[in-house]
Amino acid sequence: MSVSITFTDAAKRALASIVAQSERQLKLAFDTDGCGCLVDGVPVLWLVDKADDDDLAVETNFVPVLVERSRLIFFDEAMTIDVKPGTTVFQLKSLGQTLNGHMPLVEVKSGDER
């Protein structure tokens, strides 16, 4: 399955300085922590030090975004990352649905459990 991710201009403006200053990578993850089982989860936007072994780098119109190969099934083929006006909260949308309408950018350190 191939995945396409597009950032809106507003999302690019909101993320540009954060990504540049941190020298870290964006990761679109499917977080199942506290959701009950492995098929229940929510898409989240992480800022990570490095890619994990299972990560695929997806080219976008902004910066490459890491996505776990084993979690691709939970995402739509074409998605857009936007920012809620007046906030620093992001939204993940596709043509048919909003996958996460309230997606903060979470800084995940290498030693953190993921």
98 forms beta bridges with 93
- For residue 73, the SS3 value is helix
pLDDT digits 0-9 by tens, 48-83: 999 999 999 999 999 999 999 999 988 999 999 999
Query: Amino acid identity of 10?
Result: A
Distance separating alpha carbons of residues 36 and 33, to the nearest angstrom: 8
Statement: residue 38 has pLDDT above 90: no
Distance separating alpha carbons of residues 76 and 45, to the nearest angstrom: 15
Q: Are strands 25-31 and 4-7 parallel, antiparallel or unpaired?
A: unpaired
Domain ranges of the chain: 4-108
Distance separating alpha carbons of residues 77 and 86, to the nearest angstrom: 28
pLDDT digits 0-9 by tens, 1-33: 789 999 999 999 999 999 999 999 999 999 866
pLDDT level of residue 109 (50, 70, 90 thresholds): confident
In terms of pTM, does the model score above 0.75? yes
CATH number of the domain located at residue range(s) 4-108 in this protein? 2.60.300.12
